[in-house]
Structures are given as C-alpha cells and as structure tokens.
C-alpha cells in the first residue's frame, strides 16, 4: 500500500512535468497553428542558460535565493527573446503554408537547438539541477508516510495554475480573443483590425516562456542533459493529444493520467524505454479511437 | 516509352560506372564514408517514395534501417548465413514492420502521422534497441560483430573488402532508384500520386487506399531496411547510435532539404549526410587568427537544421527541385531565343 502510494506520488509529479511541457505545445498550436516539435528543445536551451547563470556565473557569496532568482530570470528572458526571434526570423514567413510544412520547420529548429546545446554544454549528464524550492522541504503524507518534496508540489501547482490562467487569458481577455482569431484565420482576423504580427510575436514569446518554465521546474526530476529534455516532447505530445490539442485543463488531466500510466508499470518492469512505449500506446489510442477536435486543422 | 526506359537504364549504368570509380583513391575513412553514403541514400530514397510519391510523412525511417541492420547482424553472427540471405531477411523484416507502422497511417494524415512515427522511432531507439529484454535481437550492449561475412561466396568484410561492399551497395541503389523512377509513371505510381494529392479523390476513383498505403509503407521500409542491412557489413558491428531518433529526424530534414520528390536528390543527400560531417571533423581544426578552433559533429546538425528552415522558406521544392527547374527555365529560355533567331533569319 505504501509502495502504491509512493508510486502514485511519483506518477503525479511526473504527470505534472508532462502537463507543463504539454501546455506550451497546446498554447502555441492554438494560437499559431504550428505543432511545435522543438518545444522540448526550446525549453532545454533556456534551462541550460539558467543553469549556466546558476552554476557558472553566479558569485559564491551571493545568497542562494538570489542566484536562483537571477538564473531563472536569465532563462526566462532568454526564452522570451528566442520566441520573438523564431517568430520574426522563421514563422512570420511561413504563416500561409500548410501545417505539415510548419511542423517540419520546427524539426529543423529542434535539430539546430539540440546540437547547439550539445556543442556548448557537451553531452554530459549534469547532476546539479536547479531547485526552485530547497530540497530539504519535504512534506510527509500522514496516511501512507510518503515524503513529497516541495519541488514536486511546485510542479503540480504551477501546471494547474498555468492551465487555468492561460485558459482564462485566452478566453476572457481581448488579446487572448485576438490570438484565437488569428489562429482560426489570419486573413479575416487582420480584416477585423487584429494586429496579426503582434499577436504572432506574443504567442511565440508566451509559448517559449512556458517551455522554459516547464523545463526549469523539471530539472530536479530527470537526467538533466541535452537530449532528455528534448525527447520529453513525445510524452508532452501524448498529453497534448489527450487534451485534443485544444483544451488546456484536459491537457493537464492527460498529463497526470499519462504520468500515472508510465509510473505504475515500473513496479514490475525496470526499463528506461518502457514508459516511451506507454506514451506511444496512449498516442495511438487517442488518435485512432477518439480523433481529437484539434484535428480539423492538424489533419489537413 | 521504351526509348525513355532505355535512356533511364543507360543513365543508371553511367551513374553506377562513374560513382563506382570515385572512392578508389580514397583512404579507408573516406571509403567507409562512401559506403555509408549509399546506406543513408537508401534511407532518403525510402522517403522519396513515401513522402514524395505518396505524401505520407514519416519520422521513423532510421528505425526501419536499424531493424534491417539488426536482423542482418543477427542472421550473420548467430546463424552464419551468406550475407545475401541476411540482407533478404533484413529487407523482409523491415517490410513487415513498415506494413505494421502503416496500419495507423490508414486513419491518420499529416501532423498526426508525424507524431505517431516520432513515437515509434523513440520507442525503438530507447526501448527495443537499448533494453536488455531484446538482447536476442540486438546482441546485447556490444551489438552483433560481423567479422567474416561472405556474399555470393566472396569474402566481404569491413576491414579489407570495403570496396566490394560499396560496389554491391551502389549497384543495388542504382537498381532501386531506376525502379522508383519508373514507378512514377506506372499504374501503381499514378495511384500513389493520387493518394498524395487527395485521399478522398483517389478513393472515389477506385484506388484501394488500404492496399496502396500499406504497400507504400512496406516498400518504403524495405528500401530503408535494405540500406540498413548492409550496415553491419560496412561497419563491422551494429549499435543503436546510428539508428537513433536523431538520425530519423535528419533523414526527414535532409530528404526535404534536397528535394523529397526527386530520386537523384536522395543520392545527393546521402553523400551530404556521410561526407560533410567527416570532412568537417577531419579538416575543421587548426588555428584562426591566433585562436585554436575545432569543428565538431554538432556543427553539421546545426547546419542541417538551419538549412532546412531556410530551404522551406525560400526554396519549397528542395535543392534538387530548384536546380532542376532553373535548368529547365534556362533551357526553354535558350530555346525561345534560338527560335526567334530562326524566325528573323
């Protein structure tokens, strides 16, 4: 029972990771119509910037919270800049092209970012993750005596908060409405006076920020190297597909479900690769059985 | 039509004759690259069929090549068959896997198919090729070692007979490329292209979508697997690294970059994929203005990514497609000029 509860906790924090990663994908897809395969790579690159500031450039006499703050700030600023750069240098020029072409472009972005990171930071595994909350903060569940780290709780809370926050932003603010309008039809949105260029820039900036935030929060929980964060994309896509590439709350729910589904088999099967199989089965099940709503655009 | 076929056969023969002589003067490293170039060209050719002709996107072509490589390695190392049998086994297994991967493709198109094939590539990369549950297939951590292989009774192995392996590979590539070029106008090729342009219209005109989509995936996987099944022969052993997810992504990127609709673009892309990183890492170090520098393999992948983005924005038909249309324009412009001159005279 205690083991089961422990695995549930692990699964839920893993699910929080997937949800966070998936939220950015859904956000970018909903607002720009680009299915971003490079989402994991973008988060990875920003996280390495934060890591560099935290371990490479911060002064040893600074208090811990200050270096953490500066590192996260640097990572997020870099992420925003990268999102803007991608919009202005790349995606602005392909707005009217087919969704598949845009998706293939993101594969180019993925390859470039991935190799640039492995060029700068090499293919080592870094065992010095960035802890937003001190590692010693552990909360013990009274029923099952399972310790939960403050970092796990942070992930779950941020995932839920972002899902509802971004959802509300897209639904209730005029800028959010403009973003959805541009995604539906850039031409008619611009006829109604929506600043299409500005909306695209903000969408990419926001998506990149979410990617960076997710990746920074994730570092304490995975092998922190250049590929593992990039490859998180497949689990994130599975969660995003559960949400139909549209619904932010359903995406978070999908992330938690996937996290649990990937964790429980590890009670019996010790394998690094097996969870990927679970993700693939979930993707296939969702795509073939349910045919998500976001498909009307994706299937073109 | 027959004269066209003759012309193409002649073209394939000339291409084989020219390409067969090129690596003769190379050192062992570049000879290995030449053989590897043909293997990668097979992978890219499989995308010409699947994406260029049939319009199905796939991000797991390196998986098919890897399955072919592991099957051939297993056959040679554990059963000690002639390498030809091993290659046939690799192709058959890859074909079967291709048909299985094609099954979800019956319901999916475009981006969703990309997601599924990405998932398949990742599962094979992280689970099947690397997990010890599949050691019977992958030969454990060391992989299968192929020391002494024979093909048609001739000795062929990586250390001494690299050129023989290269010639067999090249001959097979020219043959498959010729078949693919001819497929384009054949009945099956027209059905494939009808599926690419509109599945609905193709089905309305009586194209059996299930059969032709599965056939396309199977044939494509078989082509990639044919290249892959020569990998153990050329490299001497099999490991998961050459067939991991990023190779699949590079296949997709380079196929699109070179022109995914054109067969010769696959050969061009294979040479690009094999030679450029080796040339970069071999000659790309020294000192420049007092600073020592070293160009690593990562630069190649950065270049591929950036070139892909630039190409998709500027030259949607790929490098080969763009060159081709430029040559045609130049030729017709020259023809027009010549015609006018005749009129004046």
Residues B98 and B225 in one domain: yes
Interface contact A90-B305, CB threshold 8 A: no
Looking at chain B, the number of H-run helices and the number of E-run strands are 15, 4
Residues B309 and B321 in one domain: no
How far lies A183's CA from each of A27, A104, A190, A274, in Å? 11, 19, 11, 36
Least CB–CB distance from A283: residue in B119, B299, B305: B119
pLDDT at A132: 65
Q: Do residue B264 and residue B322 come from a single domain? A: no
Indicate whether B257 and B337 sit together in one domain: no
The two three-digit tokens of residue A96, written as one number: 């009217």
Element housing A29 (H / E): helix A2-32
Distance CA A21, CA A229 (A): 10
Portion 28-67 of A in contact with B at CB < 8 A: 35, 37
Concatenated DSSP letters of A65-94: HHHHHHHHHHHHHHHHHHHHHHHHHTGGGG
Given this model, what pLDDT does residue B345 score? 42
Residues on chain A touching B133 (C-beta within 8 angstroms): 271
pTM: 0.89
Residue of higher predicted confidence among B300 and B147: B300
Are residues B165 and B58 both part of a single domain?
yes
Per-chain mean pLDDT for chain B: 86
At residue B291, φ and ψ (nearest 5 deg) are -105, 130
Same domain, B268 and B342: no
**d(CA B156, nearest CA chain A) in Å:** 35
**Predicted local distance difference test score (pLDDT) of residue B344:** 44
Please tell me whether residues B187 and B326 are part of one structural domain.
no
| Residue B187 within any structural domain of the chain | yes
ipTM comes to: 0.87
Q: Which of A93, A101, A268, A273 has the highest number of chain B CBs within 10 A, making it the mutation to test binding with B?
A: A273
Q: Do A238 and B116 touch (CB under 8 A)?
A: no
pLDDT < 70 stretches in chain A: 1-2, 58-60, 64, 124-146, 290-300
pLDDT at residue A142, as a whole number: 64
Q: How many CB pairs under 8 A join A and B?
A: 148
pLDDT value for B47: 94
Enter the tokens of residue B243: 């067939």
pLDDT for res B255: 92
Q: Which residues of A touch B253 (CB under 8 A)?
A: 104, 107-108, 111
Residue B340 has pLDDT above 60, yes or no: no
Whether residue B51 has pLDDT greater than 80: yes
B343 has a pLDDT exceeding 60? no
Q: Domain check: are B322 and B309 in the same one?
A: no
Determine the 3-state secondary structure of B158 from DSSP. coil
Residues of A with Cβ-Cβ distance to B115 under 8 angstroms: 35, 237, 241, 283, 287
Alpha helices, DSSP H only, in chain A? Answer: 2-32, 39-51, 64-89, 99-121, 150-172, 174-184, 186-191, 196-218, 226-231, 233-242, 248-263, 274-285, 295-298
Do B150 and B241 sit in the same domain of this protein?
A: yes
- How far is CA B195 from each of CA B111, B190, B192, rounded to the nearest angstrom? 16, 9, 5
Domain presence at residue B288: no
Q: Is the pLDDT of residue B126 over 60?
A: yes
B184-195 pLDDT tens trace: 888 999 999 999
pLDDT score for A299: 39
- State the Cα–Cα distance between residues A17 and A35, nearest whole angstrom: 19
Has residue B196 got a pLDDT over 50? yes
Residues B65, B20, single domain; the answer is yes
Query: What is the span of the domain harbouring residue B334?
Result: 317-345
- B44, B274 contact by CB (below 8 A): no
> What mean pLDDT comes out for the span B198-208?
89
Mean per-residue pLDDT, B52-74: 92
Instruction: Enumerate the residues of chain A whose CB falls inside 8 A of the CB of residue B128.
Output: 273
Name the most confidently modeled range: B35-39, B105-109, B297-301: B35-39
Best A82, A225, A226, A280 residue to mutate vs chain B (most B CBs within 10 Å): A280
- Token pair, residue A16, equals 């929080």
Angstroms from A138 CA to nearest CA on chain B: 32
Q: Tell me the sheet residues that pair with B293.
A: B286
Interchain proximity A288–B107, CB inside 8 Å:
yes
| pLDDT (0 to 100) of residue A126 | 67
Count of CB atoms within 10 A of residue A296's CB? 11
Query: In terms of pLDDT, which residue wins out, B164 or A144?
Result: B164
pLDDT in tens, B129-138: 888 778 778 7
Residue of A nearest to B197 (CA): A300
**Top mean-pLDDT range of B91-105, B132-146, B237-251:** B91-105
Is B118 a member of any domain?
yes
Q: How many angstroms separate the Cα of B238 from the Cα of each of B9, B28, B71, B88, B141?
A: 34, 19, 10, 17, 10
CATH of the domain at B66: 1.10.3470
* A38's tokens: 């490079």
Q: Would you say domain A2-298 falls under CATH 1.10.3470?
A: yes
Q: Which of residues 73-132 of A touch B (CB under 8 A)?
A: 90, 93-94, 97-101, 103-105, 107-116, 118-119
Q: Which of A101, A105, A283 sits opposite B115 (nearest CB)?
A: A283
Task: Assess whether B152 and B87 both reside in one domain.
Answer: yes
pLDDT above 90: residue B297: no
């Amino acid at each position: 029972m205690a083991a089961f509860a422990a695995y549930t906790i692990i699964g839920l924090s893993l699910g929080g990771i997937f949800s966070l990663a998936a939220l950015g994908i859904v956000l970018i897809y909903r607002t720009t119509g680009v299915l971003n395969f490079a989402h994991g790579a973008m988060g990875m690159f920003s996280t390495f910037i934060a890591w560099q500031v935290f371990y490479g450039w911060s002064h040893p006499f600074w208090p811990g919270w200050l270096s953490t703050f500066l590192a996260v700030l640097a990572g997020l600023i870099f992420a925003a800049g990268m999102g803007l750069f991608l919009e202005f240098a790349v995606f602005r020029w392909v707005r009217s092209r087919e969704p598949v072409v845009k998706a293939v472009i993101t594969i180019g972005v993925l390859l470039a970012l991935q190799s640039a990171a492995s060029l700068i930071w090499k293919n080592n595994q870094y065992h010095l993750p960035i802890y937003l909350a001190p590692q010693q903060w552990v909360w013990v569940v009274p029923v099952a005596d399972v310790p939960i780290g403050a970092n796990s709780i942070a992930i779950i809370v941020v995932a839920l908060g972002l899902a509802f926050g971004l959802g509300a932003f897209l639904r209730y603010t005029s800028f959010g409405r403009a973003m959805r309008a541009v995604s539906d039809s850039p031409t008619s949105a611009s006829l109604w006076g929506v600043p299409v260029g500005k909306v695209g820039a903000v969408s990419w900036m926001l998506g990149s920020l979410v990617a960076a935030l997710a990746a920074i929060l994730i570092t304490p929980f995975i092998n922190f190297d250049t590929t593992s964060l990039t490859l998180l994309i497949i689990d994130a896509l599975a969660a995003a597909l559960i949400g139909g590439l549209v619904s932010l709350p359903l995406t978070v729910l999908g992330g938690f479900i996937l996290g649990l589904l990937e964790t429980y088999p590890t009670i019996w099967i010790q394998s690094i690769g097996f969870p990927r199989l679970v993700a693939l089965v979930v993707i296939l099940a969702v795509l073939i059985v349910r045919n998500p709503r976001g498909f009307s655009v994706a299937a073109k | 039509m027959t004269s066209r076929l003759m012309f193409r056969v002649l073209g394939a023969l000339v291409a084989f004759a020219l390409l067969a002589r090129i690596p003769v003067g190379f050192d062992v490293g570049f000879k290995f690259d030449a053989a590897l170039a043909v293997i990668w060209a097979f992978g890219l050719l499989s995308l010409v069929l699947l994406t260029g002709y049939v319009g199905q996107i796939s991000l797991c072509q390196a998986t098919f090549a890897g399955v072919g490589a592991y099957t051939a390695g297993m056959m040679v190392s554990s059963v000690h068959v002639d390498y030809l049998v091993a290659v046939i086994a690799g192709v058959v297994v890859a074909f079967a896997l291709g048909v299985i991967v094609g099954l979800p493709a019956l319901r999916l198109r475009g981006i969703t198919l990309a997601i599924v094939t990405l998932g398949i590539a990742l599962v094979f990369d992280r689970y099947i090729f690397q997990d010890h549950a599949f050691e019977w297939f992958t030969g454990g951590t060391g992989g299968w070692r192929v020391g002494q292989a024979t093909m048609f009774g001739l000795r062929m192995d990586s250390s001494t007979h690299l050129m023989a392996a290269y010639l067999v590979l090249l001959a097979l590539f020219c043959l498959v490329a010729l078949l693919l070029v001819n497929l384009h106008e054949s009945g099956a090729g027209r059905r494939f292209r009808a599926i690419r342009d509109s599945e609905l219209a193709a089905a309305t005109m009586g194209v059996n979508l299930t059969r032709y989509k599965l056939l396309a995936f199977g044939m494509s996987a078989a082509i990639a697997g044919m290249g892959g099944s020569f990998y153990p022969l050329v490299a001497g052993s099999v490991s998961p690294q050459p067939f991991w997810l990023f190779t699949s992504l590079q296949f997709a990127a380079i196929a699109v970059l070179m022109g995914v609709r054109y067969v010769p673009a696959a050969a061009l892309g294979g040479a690009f994929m094999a030679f450029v990183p080796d040339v970069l890492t071999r000659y790309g170090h020294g000192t420049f203005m007092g600073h020592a520098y070293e160009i690593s393999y990562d630069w190649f992948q950065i270049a591929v990514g950036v070139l892909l983005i630039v190409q998709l924005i500027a030259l949607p038909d790929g490098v080969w497609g763009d060159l081709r249309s430029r040559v045609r324009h130049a030729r017709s412009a020259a023809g027009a000029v010549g015609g006018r001159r005749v009129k004046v005279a």
